[in-house]
Amino acid sequence: MSNMSNEKRTLTVIIFTVIAMIAEIAYGYLTHSMALLADGYHMGTHALALALTYAAYVLTRKFSDSNLFVNGTDKIGTLTAYTSSLFLGLTGIWIIIEAVQRLFNPQQIQFNDAIIVAVIGLIVNTVCIFIMEGKNHHHEDAHSKDYNFQAAYFHILADALTSILAIAALLIGKYFHIIMLDSLIGILGGILILRWAVGLIKNTVKILIDMKIS
Question: What are the DSSP E strand ranges found in 7-88?
Answer: none
Mean pLDDT of 130-140: 64
pLDDT score, position 118:
81
pLDDT tens digit sequence for 68-119 = 776 677 788 888 989 989 988 888 898 888 888 888 887 777 788 778 888 8
Contact 175, 111 (CB under 8 A): no
pLDDT score, position 137:
47
pLDDT score, position 126:
92
Mean pLDDT of 143-161: 81
Mean pLDDT of 41-67: 84
pLDDT score, position 31:
65
pLDDT at 2 over 80: no
Contact 90, 98 (CB under 8 A): no
Contact 121, 156 (CB under 8 A): no
Answer whether CATH 1.20.1510.10 is correct for domain 3-62+72-208: yes
pLDDT score, position 82:
92
Query: For all residues of the chain together, what is the average pLDDT?
Result: 81
More confidently predicted of 86 and 140: 86
Q: How confident is the model at residue 142 (pLDDT cuts 50, 70, 90)?
A: low
**Residues in CB range of 40: below 8 A, 6 or more apart:** 20, 21, 22, 23, 24, 25, 28
Delimit the domains of the chain by residue range: 3-62+72-208
pLDDT score, position 136:
45
Q: If we measure between CA atoms, which residue out of 60, 59, 95 comes closest to residue 74?
A: 60
End-to-end CA distance of the chain: 24
Tallying the residues shown for the chain, one arrives at 214
Q: Say how far apart CA 194 and CA 198 lie, in whole Å.
A: 6
Mean pLDDT of 16-27: 84
pLDDT score, position 12:
92
pLDDT at 198 over 90: yes
Contact 103, 183 (CB under 8 A): yes
Ranges 31-45, 87-101, 167-181: which has the least confidence: 31-45
pLDDT score, position 92:
85
Percent of the chain having pLDDT more than 70?
Answer: 86
Q: Say how far apart CA 44 and CA 50 lie, in whole Å.
A: 10
Q: Say how far apart CA 147 and CA 153 lie, in whole Å.
A: 9
Supply the pTM of this predicted model. 0.75
Ranges 28-32, 51-55, 170-174: which has the least confidence: 28-32
